[in-house]
Structure 1
Amino acid sequence: MFIRFKHIMDVEDRIKEWEEKVYSSWVKKRGERKKEFKTFSGIHIKPVYTPLDVKGNYMEKLGLPGEYPFTRGIYPNMYRGRIWTIRQYAGFGSAEETNSRFRKLLEAGQTGLSMAFDLPTQLGLDPDHELAYTEIGVVGVSMFHWKEMDIVMSGIPLDKVTTSMTINATAMELLSMLIATSESRNINKSVLDGTVQNDILKEYIARKNFIYPPSPSMRYAIDIIEYSAKYLPKWHPISISGYHIREAGADAVLEVAFTLADGMEYVRKTMERGINVDEFAPHLSFFFAAYSDIFEEVAKFRAARRMWAKIMKEVFNAKKPESMMLRFHTQTGGAELTAQQPEINIIRTTLQALAAVLGGTQSLHVNSYDEALALPTEKAAKIAIRVQQIIANESGAADVVDPLGGSYYIEWLTDEIEERAWKIIDQVEKMGGMIKAIENGYPQAQIAESAYKIQKRIEEGDLGKVGVNMYYEPEWIGTTEIFRVNPEVRERVISRLKKYKQERDEMKLRESLNNLRKIAEKENENLFPYMIDAIRAGATVGETSGVLRDIWGEYKEPSIF
């Protein structure tokens, strides 16, 4: 046990006596709020935890911050050195509007950019495609040509600000656009710092914004990891995402298990190319959700960190400590936001952000209170930044490393989540890894079942949602301002697309796209250099994606339910 008692039997006897004579007697007279207390994920909670609930060797399971197994944090002093990166997710309309929002967020104290793209961009369609028109700029910025990236980054120093791009099926195109933009400013790509999500597995599992079948999609993702390891030393080529798995209905255990199983698949596939694990693993990053059950979320983050360290050391034989560190970004729970009484979402997101900080996140996005209704207004986005700044500067949570470490409840819950997550990972591995599991429909079915159970608990009142199934006020008159994308954006974007196409060197463009096609038909050469060449030549995301569609085809998900 972590804490040694001279007379452990005395402790056991004392607890038993308290349960029988004190606790049971009190509950019999006064009652309790619920018949059973459970975490958000349905884990049964006892009334009190003691040293008897904490098992194992302290140094083996927890160690010290900055040391294996990194349960208590990946850096020795964590936020005592500097706070997490304040990275608010933003993007809408055309490049000009997004640039304006980025500048205002940076002025408000944001310390890293996080770019949202519209659905046509995510799915490799240009704005003039028949399926794209109504979605141009709606849920993110329209990004179809590298000069649009240049506009988005106008006045922003690419060599000083870290940039995160939430993009998957067209991740190579968007990163190529950033590289082309940096080159146009005489900034070497080797100094670019940031992240591209590039996690296609979670798209099949949860989010569904895929284009190509799993096999070529994995080739595409691993090409980015391989290229970045060689030529983009500061870049994180993938953000292995549990966030969307959670938002699709998974509980905390499934979020940890499927995210780490995805990570194992990416590591395995990269190593199959003959790349030493320590050459690329230090640049892998992760992305998790933070929900309102503070203690479960903190335990989840600590368990994930410890599990990944073990996976990298024991499964993949990593030698560098940096290869074993789970670095992660956190976003507060979008599915936790309510359209009812939207202003109280500020309280929810504050709790969730605090959970992420107490759990040791490296960067953080706090959802704006109005996002259950629309894209955030400028005011709402600024309040979200202030939430992070208050936690950092006024709460005391950033002043000590792993402040909840040693709590009997936290340590027990960390162990419990880890034990349950290992069982799921073992099941995935028995199927042959995550790609096979996806083809079998295993993670999809598990998430669907979890979502059903959670919704059932909400509808039955077992899982409280203030303003929804408790303290509901139909007469609540909100004064929430609703943000709408200017419809004139569409015509501006399409007009600029036509202009770009007229100004290109058609011979260079066709040559670059033909080269891209030839490499896509092969299996043993990295696609990325040819993608950069095509983007430099003025190719649009629709044109490059069109080439890959011709070669690889489009994926149609089979019905599994």
Structure 2
Amino acid sequence: MSNQREKLFTGFPPVSTEEWMEVITKDLKGADFQKKLVWRTNEGFNVNPFYRVEDIEGSLAAENLPGQFPYVRSTRKDNKWYVRQDINVKDFAEANRKALTLLEKGVTSFGFRLPKNALSAENLGILLQGIAPDKVELNFSTCISRTIDLARLVTEYVRSQNLNVMECFGSIEFDPFRKILKKGIDEPNWVEKAVEMVKITAPLPRYRAITVSGDRMNDAGAYSYQELGYSLSYGNQVLSALIGNGIDPSMAAKKIKFEMGVGANYFMEIAKFRAARWLWAEIVDAYKPPCAHDCDNKAPDGTCRCAAKMNIHASTSRFNQSLYDPYVNMLRTQTEAMSATIGAVDSLTVRPFDEAFETPTAFAERIAVNQQLLLKEESHFDKITDPSSGSYYIETLTSALAEQAWKLFLETEETGFYEALKAGTVQDAINASANARFNAVANRREILLGTNQYPNFGEAMGQKIKDTAAHCGCGSDEGQNSPLKRLNTRRLSNAFDELRLATERSGKRPKVFMLTIGNLAMRLARSQFSSNFFACAGYEIIDNLGFKTVEEGVNAARAKGADIVVLCSSDDEYAALAPEAYNLLKGGKEIFVVAGAPACADDLKAIGIEHFINVRSNVLETLKAFNEKILL
């Protein structure tokens, strides 16, 4: 069989890159290759339309295996990740019952958020009754003011179970810069607290104690290179502080956990996790952490290579979740989960699809867990480690993203991450990226299905919104007047959500009538475009197959009580049809709109036609203007 295959492939002579480019150049017929086919990413580098083997020659991953330093392909030889479910604990016994049920449904990791005023050994025992610390990953968090107390309780509890501590794993999440990122409040004693967290949890070698919260940057709208570059600087700031305060470099590195978000840029996110492990391994290796054990994973000079393994917990992005058409959130989180698991994260949380408007229901939480189980049990993502290895495209993305993130890391290191936070440079950069993305959504350069494109026309969400504000007890208004800057907290869909909610709550649903006439293909295309355009504001759409005359269409629009009449035809026909429609509608309450950007637009504007919608329109601002006119 192998010989037959060899004979088969000999029938296809190799084609050089130059020959491919000749064909492409010919097909472009004079168009600029760079402008037409090269993608300029938000990460600051170009992506070509195709890649060849020579593009990855000499790359690190070409000779690297999963589980080998610098871990670009994975820190493990397998791809078994932990399926994590977060539980906001209010009643300890109830939370325990929920956790035990989830264990039966495939969950292998928990993130318990504990109330700060109810921390006690007794309550912790109630919460973990029947849950084996050596079988399930256990992660704990509480208000930062009580995290050290929580660390003591968890350490004492696990040690009291008479288990092999090397088989007990999890984390007590102390985020040194959480207050700055979330509330703009400084934490000047973060170094002392971080050192104490490491010392308290030292008896639990596989429990992480310091959290680098890159996911907060992701949820704020950061681009992938920003989340990665700043997270590395964040981690290095903590690592160097711990070492500088007497913590063994190997222990210090092993106590740091990275929490990262997963965005919708499918291949870029895969590359992000690969690049993250690689760069963090190089950072830790620069400290030359000594290996105290006689193991087979240390460098010739005795440097501990296990300490250089990045532990990554990934969460699907809050930033991408939408209020309207919430089931689309499941599609987003599914591709995000695929990116994370192909990228070989250690554990993953899939956010419930309804999280944007209510406390997640049992159904939504169950679906979120099942999304991971499908990847394991049906798609077998856990059976192959780093399947993206060798892909010319992903390998190139990994290297390019690593280069951009490393550049940002070095820039941030000039002052240090903590000082950059206090100066606000990190927050400013991420918030600027968020604003750029908000603008891209407003102009449909970035698409959110169900929000700024292909909305669910008849959907109403106003009555489904519930107060989901969760307070840690630190005070909801704390930090409102802080001099330090905070990260953006708005989701990508917020402006469109607010626009559509304004329509719902006005008590009036404007009617948009499609006056379709003339060229069949153009009128259908433009009526579909216009229907999607106005439905983004929650307007009622009245589409039509076509009218023989403009007068017939205008009469039909008035009979339907239209608030907006959209003329849908071809550019050539607008010169005659648009003035006729405008004159027939003049003096009425209807707003007249032309769908498209015809060459005669200036002539039409000269006679008084004001409104045009087309692919260059700022959808958000245009619809806001219509709301102001109609909903008064």
- After TM superposition, the score normalised by the length of structure 2 is 0.65
Give 1:19 deviation, angstroms.
2.5
Task: Name which one, 1 or 2, has greater alpha-carbon Rg.
Answer: 2
SS at match of 1:369: coil
CA distance in 1, matches of 2:100, 2:462: 27
Could you tell me which residue of structure 2 aligns to residue 412 of structure 1? 396
Alignment-derived partner of residue 456 in structure 1: 439
SS of the residue corresponding to residue 351 of structure 2 reads: coil
- Aligned twin of 2:197: 224
Match of 1:151 in 2: 126
Structure 2 CA distance for partners of 1:176 and 1:279, relative to 1, 3 Å: closer
Offset of residue 288 of structure 1: 1.0
Match of 2:483 in 1: 558
Match in the other structure for 1:381? 365
Residue 18 (1) aligns with residue 23 (2): yes
Is the contact made by 1:342 and 1:480 (CA closer than 8 Å) also made in structure 2? no
SS of aligned partner of 1:467: coil
What displacement does 1:186 show? 7.1
- Pair 1:348 & 2:332 matched: yes
1:10 is displaced (CA, Å) by 7.5
Counterpart check, 1:87 vs 2:84: yes
Describe the superposition over 1:527-547 as per-residue Cα deviations: whole angstroms up to 9, x where unpaired: xxxxxxxxxxxxxx99xx99x
After TM superposition, give the deviation of residue 429 of structure 1 in Å.
1.3
3-state SS in 1 of match to 2:188:
helix
Q: Which of 96, 99, 103 lines up with 1:99 in the alignment?
A: 96
2:318 aligned with 1:334: yes
Residue 297 of structure 1 and its aligned partner are, at CA, apart by 0.3
Is the contact between residue 288 and residue 328 of structure 1 (CA under 8 Å) also seen in structure 2? yes
SS at match of 2:196: helix
Amino acid at match of 1:470: Q
More helix, by proportion: 1
* Alpha-carbon distance between aligned partners in 1 of 2:359 and 2:423, rounded to the nearest angstrom: 36
Is contact 1:222–1:266 with CA below 8 Å preserved after alignment?
no
Q: Distance in 1 between the 2:368 and 2:455 partners?
A: 24
Identify the residue that residue 64 of structure 2 maps to in structure 1.
Answer: 63
Question: In structure 2, do the counterparts of structure 1 residues 41 and 101 end up closer, same or farther at CA, with 3 Å as the change threshold?
Answer: farther
- Give the drift of 1:16: 2.4
- Classify 1:99/1:40 alpha carbon distance in 2 versus 1 (closer, same or farther; 3 Å): farther
With over 3 angstroms needed to count, the CA separation of the structure-2 counterparts of 1:560 and 1:400, relative to structure 1, is closer
Deviations 1:302-356 (A, max 9, x none): 1111101111112555611111111211111122111111112111111111111
Q: CA deviation at 1:555?
A: 12
Long gaps (5+) in structure 1: 1-8, 127-142, 491-540, 547-552
**CA distance, structure 2, for counterparts of residue 281 and residue 483 of structure 1:** 41
Greater strand proportion: 2
Whole-angstrom CA distance in 1 between matches of 2:135 and 2:104: 15
Q: Retained in 2: the 8 A contact 1:91–1:101? A: no
Determine the C-alpha separation between the residues in 2 that align with 1:482 and 1:390: 29
Which aligned pairs between 1:282-301 and structure 2 lie closer than 5 A? Answer: 282-301=254-273
1:115 alignment partner AA: F
Q: Shift of residue 290 of structure 1?
A: 1.1
Residue aligning to 2:170 = 194
Matched-pair contact (CA < 8 Å) for 1:169–1:198? no
Residue 452 of structure 2 is aligned to residue 473 of structure 1: no
**Matched residue, 2:523:** none
Match of 1:342, SS state, is: coil
Note if 1:215 corresponds to 2:182. no
Aligned-partner Cα distance in 2 for 1:89–1:209: 25
Q: CA deviation at 1:156?
A: 2.7
Name the amino acid aligned to 1:378.
A
Counterpart for residue 534 of structure 1: none
State the Cα deviation string for residues 175-222 of structure 1 (Å, max 9, x = none): 233345557777798875311221222542x32386xx4331221122
Task: Tell me what 1:237 maps to.
Answer: 209
| Alignment partner, residue 165 of structure 1 | 140
Query: Out of 112, 116, 124, which is 1:115 matched to?
Result: 112
Call closer, same or farther: CA 1:202–1:410 in 2, change over 3 Å.
Answer: farther
Unmatched 5+ stretches in structure 2: 1-13, 291-302, 487-632
- Kindly provide the amino acid, as one letter, of the partner of residue 58 in structure 2: G
- CA distance 1:52–1:15, shift in 2 (3 Å): farther
State the number of aligned residues.
458
> Distance in 1 between the 2:480 and 2:151 partners?
23
SS in 2 for 1:323: helix
The one of 262, 269, 274 equivalent to 1:302 is 274
CA distance in 1, matches of 2:162, 2:64: 45
Partner of 1:364: 348
Q: Which moved more, 1:470-479 or 1:449-458?
A: 470-479
Q: Distance in 1 between matches of 2:351 and 2:434?
A: 21
**Structure 1 CA distance, aligned partners of 2:366 and 2:249?**
40
- Distance of aligned partners of 1:275 and 1:93 in 2 relative to their CA distance in 1, 3 Å threshold: closer
Which residues in structure 2 correspond to 1:384-463 (within 5 Å)? 384-431=368-415, 433-463=416-446
- How much does 1:51 deviate? 2.8
Determine the C-alpha separation between the residues in 2 that align with 1:331 and 1:300: 14
Q: Are residues 422 and 461 of structure 1, via their aligned partners in 2, closer, same or farther at CA, if it must alter by over 3 Å?
A: same
8 Å CA contact 2:152, 2:200 repeated in 1: no
Contact 1:101 1:378 in 2 (8 A): no
State the match for 1:249 in structure 2.
Answer: 221
CA RMSD of aligned residues (A): 3.6
Bigger CA drift: 91-100 or 303-312?
A: 91-100
> 1:240, 1:259 within 8 Å by CA — same for their partners in 2?
yes
> Contact 1:115–1:164 at 8 Å: present in 2 too?
yes
What SS does the corresponding residue of 2:258 show, helix, strand or coil?
strand
Higher relative contact order (CA 8 A, sep 6+): 1
SS of structure 1 residue aligned to 2:381? coil
